[in-house]
A = this chain, B = another copy of it.
Amino acid sequence: MNDRNPVIALLGRRIRLAVIGGGPGSFIGPIHRMAARLDDRYDIVAGVLSSDPQRSVAAGLAMGLAPDRCHPDLATLLAAETQRPDGIDAVAIMTPNDGHFPAAMAALEHGFDVICDKPMTNTLAEAQTLLEKVQASGRVFCLTHNYSGYPMVRQARTMVADGQLGEIRLVQVEYVQGGRAKPGPGRVAWKADPARGGPSLVMGDIGTHAHQLLRFISGLEVGEVAAELGCVVPERSAHDFAGVLLRMAGGARGSFWVTQAAAGVENGLRIRVSGSRGSLEWQQEHPQVLDFKPLDAPAQRLTPRGPGALPLALRGTRVAAGHPEGFPEAFANLYSDAAEAIAARRAGQRPDPLALHFPNAHDGWMGMRFVDAVIRSAQAGGAWTAA
């Protein structure tokens, strides 16, 4: 990623962004805002930081927003910003899960581009509705499955697409955390409430990430699932693990394992994809390394700026080889690509095709289809179920 700012180059200014949610106490809010700032393609100019109007305004002021752009609620923000000559171009939604759907629908209704946290919605029906809305609107919709933003994940995607692995035969993804290893509902109350956190906590929280990573790298869709869902930690009702056997469209087979109940584990997202010509292995806790194990040649350790790095990986790196980038930069890669797409749309131009690898509404809908299939399979005693 060179030093050129393609948004300023196209528009003569940065994209004006409003943030919806992510106020005091939020984990993900600060990350969204860092991601927006990192590559200098956005000005965060307005916001609704909380569902409580007073807290919303106070948090906006503390962030340095202008007083007249610290809005008490979404409807007010959308109305006011639509009126301003210097009003926003886009919104970034980082509310609790049940807020994604109505906020995204309303923002699209007002003509804004949308960046939205995952899971896209809490139900498959909502996902379908939102997908159709996005398609009809012509607006940019970026779903922040941020692991897709890591350079070596993008390297892996390109290597598979280029045929370096041959025909894909086996996929294996695990996402193991320990954040819910202690008894009880957990630190964030709304997550354990199905009405707000969705029908399967572990699937919405991290299962959709694992699913998207698998699709993003392998280029394959899940065909059928045989699943179990449950909770292993006492004093809990929300799912804290899911195990799924996968039949991928095209014949590959796979394993999927996600849990938030593995005491002491931090953020163990790990994937292996094997084809007729070799295997790729990546783990999120050391994201700068992609292990490529060809069938009959020495194993390679690929790095973001090292020899063999491909354009889709290179455009997501900012620093020289051996200088690690991390989770915030991966997140920022989605924001920065979305910015290019938004700027191009506004300028009436076609964006660089390499900018269009961020997850979108179709990906979000596929995620909800997968969650739905996993739930149905588990309810049916693990019966093979189309995804």
Interface residues of A (CB under 8 A from B): 3-5, 8-9, 13-14, 24, 26-27, 29-31, 33-34, 37-40, 62-64, 165-166, 169-170, 172, 174, 176-179, 181-182, 226-228, 230, 232-233, 241, 243, 245-247, 251-255, 257, 259, 261-268, 272, 274-279, 284-288, 291-303, 305-308, 318-329, 381-384
- Lowest 10 A-B CB distances belong to which pairs? A267-B322, A266-B322, A264-B293, A324-B326, A326-B326, A323-B327, A262-B274, A169-B232, A298-B300, A255-B257
Q: Flag if B40 contacts A38 (CB, 8 Å).
A: no
Please name all residues of chain B whose beta carbon is closer than 8 Å to the beta carbon of A179 when the two chains form the complex: 320
Q: Answer whether A293 and B265 are a contact pair too, CB < 8 Å, given A232-B252, A243-B245.
A: yes
Residue from B181, B274, B321 within 8 A of A267 (CB atoms): B321
A176 to chain B, nearest CB (A): 7
Please name all residues of chain B whose beta carbon is closer than 8 Å to the beta carbon of A226 when the two chains form the complex: 226, 228, 245, 382
28 contacts between A and B (CB under 8 A): A8-B62, A9-B62, A38-B38, A166-B263, A170-B262, A178-B274, A179-B320, A226-B226, A228-B247, A232-B252, A241-B253, A243-B245, A263-B279, A266-B303, A266-B305, A266-B306, A266-B322, A285-B288, A286-B324, A297-B307, A298-B302, A299-B300, A300-B301, A319-B326, A324-B324, A324-B327, A325-B326, A381-B384
Total copies of this chain within the assembly: 4
Q: Answer whether A170 and B259 are a contact pair too, CB < 8 Å, given A230-B253, A324-B285, A382-B383.
A: yes
A272 to B64, CA, bound (A): 42
Find the B residue at minimum CB distance from A288.
Answer: B285
A33 to B5, CA, bound (A): 13
Main secondary structure of the interface of A (DSSP, over half): loop
A267 to chain B, nearest CB (A): 3
Please name all residues of chain B whose beta carbon is closer than 8 Å to the beta carbon of A298 when the two chains form the complex: 292, 300-302, 306-308
Residue from B9, B27, B29, B169 within 8 A of A320 (CB atoms): B27
Please name all residues of chain B whose beta carbon is closer than 8 Å to the beta carbon of A182 when the two chains form the complex: 295
A42 to chain B, nearest CB (A): 10
Q: Flag if A275 contacts B263 (CB, 8 Å).
A: yes
Q: Flag if A328 contacts B318 (CB, 8 Å).
A: yes
A385 to chain B, nearest CB (A): 10
Please name all residues of chain B whose beta carbon is closer than 8 Å to the beta carbon of A177 when the two chains form the complex: 322
A248 to chain B, nearest CB (A): 10
A14 to chain B, nearest CB (A): 6
Please name all residues of chain B whose beta carbon is closer than 8 Å to the beta carbon of A64 when the two chains form the complex: 5, 8, 13-14, 40
Residue from B24, B263, B272, B286 within 8 A of A277 (CB atoms): B263
Please name all residues of chain B whose beta carbon is closer than 8 Å to the beta carbon of A318 when the two chains form the complex: 30-31, 34, 328
A177-B322, A230-B253 known; 4 new pairs, CB 8 Å cut-off, are A40-B63, A264-B299, A285-B322, A299-B302
Residue from B13, B62, B257, B288 within 8 A of A4 (CB atoms): B62
A274 to chain B, nearest CB (A): 4
Q: Flag if B263 contacts A5 (CB, 8 Å).
A: no
A231 to B314, CA, bound (A): 31
A381 to B39, CA, bound (A): 49
Please name all residues of chain B whose beta carbon is closer than 8 Å to the beta carbon of A174 when the two chains form the complex: 172, 255
Q: Flag if A303 contacts B307 (CB, 8 Å).
A: no
Q: Flag if B288 contacts A328 (CB, 8 Å).
A: no
A31 to B319, CA, bound (A): 7
A278 to B181, CA, bound (A): 9
